Structure 1
Amino acid sequence: MTEDEPRERIRDAALRQFALLGFKGATVRGIAADAGVSPGLVQHHFPTKDALREECDAYVFAALRGLRDRGPADADLVANAHEVLALIVPYVATAMAGDTPTAARWFDELAEGHREALTNGERGTFLPEGEDVQAIVAVHTAMELGLAILNRHLYRRLGAEPNDPAADVRIARARLYLATRRTVGEELEKHVREGLERFEHGEGSDR
């Protein structure tokens, strides 16, 4: 066992325990049991629970940046992302639901990644000129994070256990379908846009 292995095992156990029980509910003893080490070893590497949480946050930030930098066109990344995402998605969901300062940083980090991908042609397309890029990026980020926050319900609906690889493939294919095909017809889009413009200019029937 290398010198870093116990620290990494403790960090991974903390990610699971924090996601399962929340930051207040998780205990050093529970994290130690999950990692298969003594509570003393946990405190040797991380003197406080806050220090352990900071380690988890740093790991998640690094993982998100790594995924963003490699991009969706990296087939190896797509094929091997399950292990990383299975560990960090429940943790991110817990943090986002708690509306912590970390949650705001993650939202902005993810939004920046989506902004780059939607405006630099990385996905093989660009946002049309005249569209509200800031709003589109913010809404897209919130929708993506919704998959993490509603993670358990998503798997339940698919009749699968959380992080089931077969269900993950189904989810990824569904996301790809929604990203590449129109889900409303052009005529409906025209009517909705017209209604939004009327609302924007105070032309609604109740205004």
Structure 2
Amino acid sequence: MVTPSTDSERDGLDPRTAAASHNVTGTGNTSPPAQDTEAAETSGADRILDAAIELFGEHGFSGTSLKAIAQRAGVSAPLVIHHFGSKAGLRKACDERVAELFYQFKSESIARSRPALPRNYVMEAIQASGPIIHYLLQAFLAGGDEIDALMDRLVEDSLEYTAEAERIGLIHPSANPRNRAVVMLLQSFGALMLHKQMKRLLGASPLEDSPEDLAPYMSAVLELYTRPVLNAEVYGELARQLRETQPEPTADDTPVGHTPSDIDHQP
């Protein structure tokens, strides 16, 4: 059972002591070659990050101790401090890793979408992203400046892979790419926060069930994004009025290969 870390536990892990006493080879004072040392350091840091993302996702940030992370990673607790300085430093590194993995997942999905994205790849990707989904849920529940910074990173990253998706014809251009990216992320993560209702109403949760069980949810999402829901003639005037109340998109908001005037005349 994972127990919350205490101040005394954290205080007992002195970064200077850790750096001085840790020996990656386990051979006393014998110094390994610099290349081997660097590889071992990188491997240890990666194992710590993977373990931390899993445990933070399973038990939350306050419910996970550095000792538990070290045990799952198969390293000493002082080594965690040696690499990341503190629990806060480790969480920041986890946020960065999760953002990188999320970007990689999205970018690879776009790259493999021509001529059509294989269903088995979609299912495999969802299965592999399980720890990321759990981690993001705990981050949203915790809130604070950390999740604000993480969300900002996810939004900015999404502008890159959606621009690529536009370039190869997977999605249509937007009058305001950033606002669209924000809304799509909010909708996706909102469904994550309501995963228990998803399970109750659609029979499966991305946090509890296999990817194959998510077919009803994924089918509905695909229909929403590929088939018009609203009658354009009925809501056309409202859409025009809303566009007029928005500031002109900046250069950063314009999709790759398009100008604001191009977008305004999209059907």
Question: Scaled by the length of structure 1, what TM-score is found?
Answer: 0.70
Q: Which moved more, 1:173-182 or 1:4-13?
A: 4-13
Q: Which residue of 2 aligns with 1:183?
A: 229
* Structure 2 portions without partners, runs of 5+: 1-38, 246-267
* Correspondence 1:45 to 2:79: yes
Aligned 1:23-42 pairs, distance under 5 A: 23-31=61-69, 35=72, 41-42=75-76
1:111 and 2:111 equivalent? no
- If asked which structure has higher relative contact order (CA below 8 Å, sep 6+), I would say 2
Name the % identity.
Answer: 22
Corresponding residue of 1:151 = 195
Greater helix proportion = 1
Change (3 A) 1:192 1:92: same
SS at match of 1:124: coil
In structure 1, what is the equivalent of residue 126 of structure 2? 82
- Shift in Å at residue 30 of structure 1? 4.5
Aligned residues: 192
SS for the counterpart of 1:72 is helix
Larger radius of gyration: 2
Q: Which residue of 1 aligns with 2:55?
A: 17
TM-score under structure 2 length normalisation = 0.57
Q: How far did residue 163 of structure 1 move?
A: 4.2
- 1:60 is matched with which residue: 93, 98, 102? 98
Task: Encode CA deviations 1:87-130: one digit per residue, 9 max, x unaligned.
Answer: 101211221333333322332232234334444334523325xx
Deviation track 1:40-84 (CA, whole Å, cap 9, x = no partner) reads x35143124334323422321220221233243414753431233
The answer on whether the counterparts of 1:10 and 1:42 sit within 8 Å (CA) in structure 2 is: no
Unaligned runs of 5+ in 1: 201-207
Query: In 1, are the aligned partners of 2:57 and 2:135 still within 8 Å (CA)?
Result: yes
Asked if structure 2 preserves the Cα contact closer than 8 Å seen for 1:90 and 1:149, the reply is no
- Distance in structure 2 (CA, Å) of the matches to 1:64 and 1:137: 14
Write the mapping of 1:192-207 to structure 2, written as runs, cut at 5 A. Answer: 192-193=238-239, 196=242
> RMSD between aligned alpha carbons?
3.4
